[in-house]
Amino acid sequence: MISQCSKMSKLKIIPSHIGNISDISTHIVESIKECDFIACEDTRVTGILLKKLGIEKKEFLSYTEFNQQKKTPYIAERILKGEVGGLMTDAGTPLVSDPGFYLVRECIEKGIIIESVPGPSAVITALTGSGLPTDSFAFYGFLPKKEGKKKEKLKEAMLRNETAIFFESPYRIDKTLTAISELEGERRVVVARELTKRFEEYIRGTASDILEAKWERKGEIVLLIYGGRIDK
């Protein structure tokens, strides 16, 4: 049964910048201002962002993958009482390889309005700048850390027809590129790093090409793999 709630009851899903603070739109700023409290991954990171944006300090609630199931009912109940809650992540759009699903589902079940504010996404930014097909793609989040499971996931992705997109650590990227090269040496790959920041770059080629290329293994990395199909 759907609960009755105040017309003011609302959960705002609010993106953050993925590199450059100028990624943040006026819509995002106004949405943050409307919130009575903000649930976020790291209260320090979100606090610094709000200070840079000139927004007065808000009440922050820590909301992580470790406490999201416990905190979700509390947040939903506060919104039901008439507050406007915000959900933010450290970078990019919440719920994309970040906590938030439990909260959104709970709020929907209780009849709370969900407002998803459009904004920065490393997934879409990397895809459109990659030069790989954009008409169909699959996002897998972070690859498994164990090499065996990682290779299984890569093989699964490479058997599909869509462009495959992963988040990867700069400390593991070489091992991942090696695994791709071992699976299929000629497969086209793109590494997008430091998106919207000063040293943003796209490294394109086969996995072997990229392994041999000179580029800094630093910063946030998005890995894109060409789908297993013939070019049109």
Per-residue pLDDT tens over the stretch 97-106: 999 999 999 9
- CA distances (Å), origin 179, targets 124, 138, 168, 172, 187: 24, 19, 13, 11, 12
pLDDT tens track for 7-29 = 578 999 999 999 999 999 999 99
Topology adopted by domain 10-116: Cobalt-precorrin-4 Transmethylase; domain 1 (3.40.1010)
- Percent of the chain predicted with pLDDT > 90: 92
Which burial class, exposed, middle or buried, applies to 80 when counting CB atoms under 10 A from its CB (0-12, 13-18, 19+)?
middle
User: d(Cα 115, Cα 134) in Å, to the nearest integer?
Assistant: 26
pLDDT at 33 over 50: yes
List, by residue range, all CATH 3.40.1010.10 domains of the chain. Answer: 10-116
Measure CA 29 to chain center: 19
List, by residue range, all CATH 3.30.950.10 domains of the chain. Answer: 122-225
pLDDT at 116 over 60: yes
Q: Which residue is associated with the tokens 């086969």?
A: 206
pLDDT at 230 over 70: no
Class of the domain covering 122-225: alpha beta
- Residue-level pLDDT at 57: 87
Average confidence score pLDDT of the chain? 93
Beta strands in the chain, from DSSP E residues, in sequence order: 10-13, 37-40, 59-62, 84-88, 113-116, 137-142, 163-168, 188-193, 201-206, 221-225
pTM score above 0.75: yes
Contact between 194 and 19 under an 8 Å Cβ cutoff? The reply is: yes
pLDDT tens track for 144-173 = 999 999 999 999 999 999 999 999 999 999
- The answer for 97, left when phi > 0, alpha when psi is -120 to 50, beta otherwise, is left
pLDDT at 1 over 90: no
Task: Classify residue 58 by its DSSP letter.
Answer: -
Q: Which residues of 151-178 are buried (b: 16+ CB within 10 A; e: fewer)?
A: bebbeebbeeebbbbbbbeeebbeebbe
